[in-house]
Structure 1
Amino acid sequence: MQMKRHILISTIAMALAAGFTSCEDFLDKQPLDKVSTSTFWQTTKDADKALTAAYASFRNGTFSAVPAGGPCTEQECLSDNAVTRGAHSAIQQGGINPSTGGLLNDLWDDSYKGIAAANYFLDNFDKVRDLYSEVDFNKLKAEALFIRTFYYNELVVHYGAVPMMLHSAKLGDGFEKLPRSPRAEVISQMLDDIDFAIEWLPNVAYTDGHAVKGSAVVLKCRILLNDQRYADAAKLAGDFIHDPANPFKLADDYAGIFFGGQINNPEIMFSIQFTAPDDFHALDQMVASRMTIFPSYNLRAAYEEGDPRIKMTMYEAGDPWVSNDKTGKFEDDGNRAEGLVPFTGMAFKKYVNPTIMAPKASTLSDQHIVKMRYADLLLMYAEAMFESGQGGDPKALAALNAVRQRPGVNMPPKTELTRENIRNERRVELAYEGIRYYDIIRWDIAKDVIPTVQYDESGKMRKFDGNLWPVPQKQMDIMGDIWEQNAPWN
């Protein structure tokens, strides 16, 4: 085992090199792991390149989208909102194990690559401190801490206790004996880091792909809710929402948040940005043409009658559809897409460019992948207020109804704040944004709702293996005598 540990290269140990190698296209010169420290970290441009590399770590199929594969939005199928006939079908059918691979490996690997990229920046940024004012220096440091915290939050949600690396891994520094830090310790570190980010990131609208104060507030709210610290989350969200200097608001066009109206959108608080034709992904091809992921019956049933978000979120039988050159409607008769209409009779429309024939879209998609938006913050505030015993405060109900009555939606206001109202509003408002799975995990209802989802046309139902995933077997092969595998795989 000792020899294996030295021969095999751990995901964590190689994260730095792998992270920057994968970001090569986003740097002006050679990858940073091949740049001598004697020639790099001399100018502000060097720091900008390193921070760009850290942001570029988001650009993969796990957290945003890539040209050759599906977007992260396909992970909606982990929840009860969607079904897939694609790469994540093994998770939906149950029986996952440490060797399942796919997303179970990718999320681990991609998270540590992102952490390594952030750590590389943080470890070296002091070398150019004198080139910045205190405000500018701490702003860039805060961005790197935001990125690192984002990834650690993903790891904690999916794997629980994880090894906590706060500096770049170096051979001989003992990384091969690094233990899995308890969940509480990782959360404590995340909160320290995100508090620094909230203090130093500018309180401005989100525009150019760089995190701002609002981005960090959303991330901290998610961490606090996951840890059931409802009063803290309510205060944080409420203080930001009700601050006269709050630069965010609900957008006038719900559909435009995801396609056609993303530039300088007042609701988007953080996203992964793309610009075709040089910088594109395959969302339209994977979702609108192959229909590898599609809405579940359960999601459709969650909408109230007359909710206009239905037609802005999904295609149903008879809806206008550019991929049908015979009838112009969403149906198989005349369908020129790469896949058949799913057995549920629905496909996702949110994010989709409805004007292009989907098989031709493999190099045209450049929708920004929205990771955080203001409606989510409003609903987290309503939830935190309710769960902390403050649900009677009119501001909590007002936050929920602001989302329901947003321009273009105009659903009747709720007269009472209830857990059911909050949870269902989150479900329909944020459908196909990759948030539902995190919600049902922290509410501890995944075990109840996942088995109610029909998996295929034969009537087979979904299965659920547990709130935590197993640590990838390739990692356990290296660290197995030091780490204990998550139950029940231990």
Structure 2
Amino acid sequence: MKHNKLIILLSAGMLFISSCGKEFLQKLPQGQLSEPQVGNKDGVEAALIGAYSILNGNVNGTWGNYASAPSQWVFGEMASDNAHKGSELTDQTPMNMIETYNAISTNDNLSTQWQVYFEGVLRCNNTLKLLAADQEGPMEITAERATEIQAEARMLRAHYYFYLWRVFRHLPVITETMTTEEARTTPNDQDVTPLIEEDLKFAVANLPENKINNEAGRMDKNAARAYLGKLYLYQQKYAEALPLFKQVMAGKDLVSMPFWNNFDVTTEDGPEVVMVSKHAINSNGSGDNANVGDMLSGLYGSSPVGCCGFYQPSIDLVNAYQVNANGLPYLDKSYRDDPYLSDLKNPTESYKLDVSLRVDPRLDYTVGRRGVMYLDYGVMPGNGWIRDAAYGGPFVGIKTMIPQSQFATNAAPGANYVTGLDVNIIRLADVWLMAAECEVELGNLPGALKLVNDVRNRAANIPPKKTASGANAAAYSVEPYPAFTSQEQARQAVRFERRLELALEGHRFFDLVRWGIAKETIESYSSFEGDYLSAYKGLTFSAANEYWPIPQVEIDRSDGALTQK
């Protein structure tokens, strides 16, 4: 992995602004604490790096950042039909409440998400405040660089607020112009999306086309365009979103970009990256700047990773990759009629992999299953890598793992589950499918068809995974749609393709909510999944489950300014 300057500076940036801890509004904003010491060019740049450092969902340390992971696996995947908490029932029990839609305001996953990303908001505000002081004179930062810094900080603030908004919806709107007391007593009765939109528009107008100093983790104009388009998509402003997506896609050939490069620690700075959380193992072996949010998804037991057995793909997700004789998915969910269960009902040595199973090849680059080669670890053996298959199912994830050959340089010493693997917050295939969604809703079915088929044609280029004998592990097939016969069919195809392409990347739950189909999807999934894993039987979902309660500790700290909606 490339250790660019931005990553190297993250630790320094975090130390530089260590005066501000995780507790939201408990301490003074950083600018008011440190302005005399850092009100200069180096201080402003360091404050900006400190704002960037929250992209990896971590303020300090390694353990405990799961709910604030940039992948958003806890809220975006575990709460959907794509993934289970995994591990065993009695481990990390507050996550069980997230997964089964029973979370209350004292759940520590909620306070982690709130505190980390409001820390990000505060660091952005502090950067903007210090920058304004510099520009008032004597000015050390050029006007051109000052505009870039403002755009970077506002882009980051938009991202942190967007993550908070999707989870909590009702937020206090805190800007750099507010005093400490104003911030502390701001109620959560405003819509934060206008601020997010203003920040992203400013970023689109003022960020450069190329990464500043060629640092891969920096914000740039395309990242801002994609993010603003994403916000508009969530608001169903398809006509406003589509031109932004088209600008991001212009001149790019998704079909030629290898799918797996997005999840390979040696190729992750590739052309498909739009916005990314950069991760690295520090030179002293520390994992503070690593991918600490996904560390629990490390494989369990006899696997080369040895910990921790969480974040397991659902049976329903695995079977969604089944295809018909024409290489097309079962949009009507008839894949459930004869589901593939791996060795769930036969975990003995007599189990044999069914290599005749017709599946999309993306399955085996998303999910580890018994009998199939897994990275360079060898054949996935089944229960030996799983803590409790009867609870979490017989499958494990792949997208968060790195090869054994990379442990020495891209994993923390003695902790192979803490890696330097980046997390894509937005990648081109996501943009392709968001654009396809806009085309469907605007009535351009041929345009949507081409975009969806670009994604599928790229998937057809994926090399087949193998068994121990070297045979193909399945009857792999993925073909383009010949046509969309109606808007509804096109809509289903685009939504299904997002699931297949972006599975376990943090999008699924939020997609279901914005499409207005969360209740029917989750309850149908529960009926199917619960027949095989009893922990998922009888789940119920209501409109109140579309977002989570404000953490009680934050309500208490605000002296009643924050209220539960």
Task: Sort the TM-score into its range (normalised by shorter chain).
Answer: 0.7 to 0.9
1:457 aligns with 2:533: yes
Q: Is the CA contact (8 Å cut-off) linking 1:379 and 1:426 kept in structure 2?
A: yes
- Cα deviation for residue 216 of structure 1 reads 1.0
Deviation at 1:344, TM superposition (A): 2.4
2:98 counterpart letter in structure 1: I
Query: Do the aligned partners of residues 331 and 68 (structure 1) sit closer, same or farther apart at CA in structure 2, a change above 3 Å counting?
Result: same
> C-alpha distance in 2, partners of 1:116/1:106?
15
Contact 2:365 2:399 in 1 (8 A): yes
Structure 2 CA distance, aligned partners of 1:98 and 1:347?
A: 30
Structure 1 residue 285, shift from structure 2 partner: 5.8
Partners in 2 of 1:61 and 1:77 — Cα distance? 20
2: CA distance, partners of 1:285 / 1:423: 28
Residue 399 (str. 1) matches residue 451 (str. 2): yes
- Of residues 83, 102, 112, the one that matches 1:95 is 102
Alpha carbons of 1:36 and 1:420: their partners in 2 closer, same or farther (altered >3 Å)?
closer
Superposition RMSD on alpha carbons, in Å?
3.1
- Alpha-carbon deviations, 1:274-305, whole Å to 9, x = none? 22244434546633232211011121122243
Aligned residue for 2:7?
Answer: none
| Alpha-carbon distance between aligned partners in 2 of 1:31 and 1:429, rounded to the nearest angstrom | 39
Q: CA deviation at 1:340?
A: 4.9
Q: 1:159-191 CA distances to partner (integer Å, 9 max, x unpaired)?
A: 2231101126644x43343122432xx212211
Give 1:413's aligned residue: 480
| Number of the residue aligned with 2:119 | 113
Equivalent residue, structure 2, for 1:287: 298
Q: 1 CA distance for matches of 2:209 and 2:291?
A: 30
Among candidates 202, 209, 219, match of residue 211 of structure 1: 219
Q: Which runs of 5+ in 2 are unaligned?
A: 1-9, 20-29, 301-307, 324-358, 463-476
Q: Which residue of 1 aligns with 2:548?
A: 469
Q: Which residue of 2 aligns with 1:14?
A: none
2:44 touches 2:131 (CA, 8 Å); kept in 1? yes
2:439 matched to which residue of 1?
Answer: 385
Secondary structure at the counterpart of residue 424 of structure 2? strand
CA distance in structure 2 between the aligned counterparts of 1:263 and 1:324, rounded to whole angstroms: 20
Distance 1:340 1:110, change over 3 A: same
With 450-459 and 135-144 compared, the bigger mean Cα shift is at: 450-459
1:232 matched residue in structure 2: 240
SS in 2 for 1:216: helix
Residue in structure 1 matching 2:147, options 113, 116, 138? 138
1:371 aligned counterpart, secondary structure: strand
Distance 1:54 1:400 in 2: 36
Deviation at 1:445, TM superposition (A): 1.4
Q: Is the deviation greater in 410-419 or in 46-55?
A: 410-419
**Gaps in structure 1 of 5+ consecutive residues:** 1-22
- Any runs of at least 4 consecutive aligned residues in structure 1 with deviations exceeding 6 A, and if so which? 322-325, 356-359
Residue 338 of structure 1 deviates from its aligned partner by 7.3
Q: For 1:368 and 1:459, how far apart are their aligned partners in 2?
A: 32
Q: Distance in 2 between matches of 1:469 and 1:49?
A: 34
- Cα contact 2:299–2:309 (8 A) shared by 1: yes
Q: Select 2:387's aligned residue among 320, 328, 339.
A: 339
Greater Cα offset, 141-150 or 412-421: 412-421
CA distance in 2, matches of 1:436, 1:210: 26
Taking a change above 3 Å as real, the CA distance of residues 311 and 363 of structure 1, as seen in their structure-2 partners, is closer
| Inter-CA distance 370–160: structure 2 relative to 1 (3 Å threshold) | same
After the TM superposition, which of the residue ranges 357-366 and 123-132 deviates more from structure 2?
Answer: 357-366
1:37 Cα deviation (Å)? 2.3
Within the candidate set 297, 303, 320, 1:302 is matched to 320
Q: How does 1:49-448 map to 2 (within 5 A)?
A: 49-60=46-57, 66=62, 70=66, 71-73=69-71, 74-75=73-74, 76-85=77-86, 87=92, 88-99=95-106, 101-129=107-135, 130-167=139-176, 170-171=179-180, 173-183=181-191, 186-204=192-210, 207-242=215-250, 244=251, 249=254, 252-276=257-281, 277-279=285-287, 280-282=290-292, 283=294, 286-289=297-300, 290-305=308-323, 306-321=359-374, 328-332=379-383, 335=384, 337=385, 339-340=387-388, 343-355=392-404, 361-362=415-416, 365-387=419-441, 389-392=442-445, 394-406=446-458, 408-409=461-462, 411-414=478-481, 415-416=483-484, 418-448=490-520
Shift of 1:364: 5.4
Separation of aligned partners in 2, 1:386 and 1:30: 46
Specify whether residues 251 and 480 from structure 1 end up closer, same or farther in structure 2 by C-alpha distance, changes over 3 A only. Answer: farther
Contact 1:97 1:470 in 2 (8 A): yes
Q: Measure the CA separation in 2 of the matches of 1:403 and 1:300.
A: 19
Q: CA offsets per residue over residues 221-264 of structure 1, 9 Å max, x none?
A: 2211111111111222124323x5x7x85663212211234443
AA of the residue aligned to 1:331: G
Shift of 1:324: 7.8
Counterpart-to-counterpart distance in 2, 1:439 and 1:30: 35
Conserved 8 A contact 1:92-1:463: no
Task: Report how many aligned residue pairs link the two structures.
Answer: 448
Distance 1:254 1:213, change over 3 A: same
Once the 2 structures are TM-superposed, how far is the Cα of residue 435 of structure 1 from its aligned partner?
A: 0.9
Distance in 2 (alpha carbons) for counterparts of 1:330 and 1:156: 41
- The amino acid that maps onto 2:40 is Q
CA offsets 1:367-414 (integer angstroms, 9 cap, x no match): 011111011011001101211x2323x333222211111163483212
Check 1:231–1:281 CA distance in 2 against 1; reply closer, same or farther (3 A cut). Answer: closer
Distance 1:190 1:254, change over 3 A: same
Deviation at 1:119, TM superposition (A): 0.2
2:366 and 2:430 map into 1 onto residues whose CA distance is 16
TM-score by length of 1: 0.82
Per-residue deviation, residues 1-53 of structure 1 (Å, max 9, x unmatched): xxxxxxxxxxxxxxxxxxxxxx865356563649742232222x222101000
Q: 1:251, 1:476 → 2: CA distance?
A: 50
Identical amino acids, percent of aligned pairs = 22
